[in-house]
């Protein structure tokens, strides 16, 4: 593993001010800075992106899949609705770790189903911003084990 993509979906640009009781006070820039430091320590290049457009996420997943780069994906609300993201992961064979800040299973019913989980390599949720760090640690640990 030489590179990692971290892709963020709708409304995650508002992290830090958006419902802090649910999502915490760290901004997306805070998370990016921390993951960048960790990636640098492991000689990994980090591509960190956010979009409110579903199609952007589809394009970036395809891009990562074609390049064989694993993806840490917080698809936001598209998690619960997007057949297009499900298909993009399948079609591109991208290795995706699904992450959520909140424990979606402890929230509204409409958040209990994920279109991503069935095609994800793993799912980490409910640890706030730390969910991203844990996903990165999982990818690093796996790559050290498998030397892929």
Least Cβ distance, residue 1 to ligand DQA (angstroms): 24
Number of residues located near ligand DQA, criterion CB under 6 A: 10
Q: How is 9-74 classified by DSSP, letter by letter?
A: -TTGGGTTTS-HHHH-S--HHHHHHHHHHHHHHTT-EEEEEE-S-HHHHHHHHHHHHHHT--EEEE
Binding test (CB under 6 A) with ligand DQA, winner from 7, 61, 85, 104: 104
Residue (1 or 8) nearer to ligand DQA, CB: 8
Using an 8 Å Cβ cutoff, are 104 and 124 in contact?
Answer: no
Query: Can you tell me which of 13, 16, 36, 77 binds ligand DQA, judged by CB under 6 A?
Result: 77
The correct pick among 71, 102, 120, 133 for binding ligand DQA (CB under 6 A) is: 102
Segment (H or E) for 122: strand 122-125
11 binds ligand DQA (CB under 6 A): yes
């Amino acid at each position: 593993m030489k590179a990692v993509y971290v892709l963020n979906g709708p409304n995650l640009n508002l992290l830090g001010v958006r419902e802090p009781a649910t999502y915490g006070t760290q901004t997306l820039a805070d998370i990016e800075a921390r993951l960048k430091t960790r990636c640098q320590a492991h000689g990994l290049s980090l591509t960190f992106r956010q979009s409110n457009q579903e199609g952007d996420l589809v394009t970036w997943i395809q891009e990562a899949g074609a390049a064989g780069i694993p993806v840490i994906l917080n698809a936001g609300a598209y998690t619960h609705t997007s057949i297009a993201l499900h298909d993009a992961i399948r079609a591109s064979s991208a290795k995706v770790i699904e992450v959520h800040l909140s424990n979606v299973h402890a929230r509204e019913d409409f958040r209990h189903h994920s279109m991503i989980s069935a095609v994800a390599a793993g799912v980490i949720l409910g640890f706030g911003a730390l969910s991203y760090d844990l996903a990165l640690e999982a990818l690093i640990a796996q790559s050290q084990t498998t030397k892929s």
